[in-house]
Homo-oligomer: A and B are copies of this chain.
Amino acid sequence: MDAALSEFASKGLQGARAEEIARQSGAAKRMIYYYFTDKEGLYRAAIQHAFSSPSALGNLSDLEDMATLPALEEMIGRTFDMHVERPDFVRLLLQENFQHGEHIRTIPEISQGTRSTIATWRKLLDRGIREGLVREDVDPVKVHHSISALGQFYISNQYSLKANFDIDSSLPETVALQKKHVIDMICRWILRPSTKFGPSE
């Protein structure tokens, strides 16, 4: 299944080769058709697998016990980590978007997850606003999108980053820097100018 995910993620449904998936997985090609009927069946299964995977964002309840600012940073960090930990998922989602999401349509659990994420953001941000840390007109959806955009960018452009900027995303320290960048950017954006933040200034 991992082999399928990887192949579909980088080549899409039509570009993926059934034989290559079989080879990579170590299983016999025959088995694909035995269990999934056809290539599209395997594709659907791979999508479903990717979305029902344990960690969408995991349990977020512990954020409520943290102070607001660390909680915000932690929430940003976890959202970013989710992208880093599941690069094939990120790529597959993009492939689906390129094809107008014709297969993802059949899976309802998806918007479920995002809805609850947004709800968490709203709670956190409201707390920040009440405490005078966060600007009043901050939109949870935009916050979520901005972090996702950065996460997606760093994992979907690894070749370009290497070729144009000599940034090697396979190094853990590179990823750590990127994560720091995202946290820094989002915080400075959503916090009130008067809120003290960060190592610099």
Contact = CB atoms under 8 A, between A and B. Distances in A.
Interface of A: 9-15, 17, 91, 93-101, 104-105, 110-111, 114-115, 135-137, 141-142, 145-146, 148-150, 152-154, 156-160, 163-165, 181, 184-185, 188-189, 192-194, 200-201
Given A97-B159, A142-B181, A156-B97, A164 B111 contact: yes
Contact of A192 (B17, B165, B192, B201): B201
* A contact patch SS: helix
Copies of chain A in the complex = 2
Contact of A94 (B15, B94, B99): B94
Nearest to A96: B159
A136 to B, nearest CB: 8
A14 B18 CA distance: 13
A96 B9 CA distance: 12
A100 B163 CA distance: 10
Nearest to A93: B160
Contacts of A93: 157, 160
B193 A185 contact: no
Contacts of A101: 159-160, 163
A194 to B, nearest CB: 7
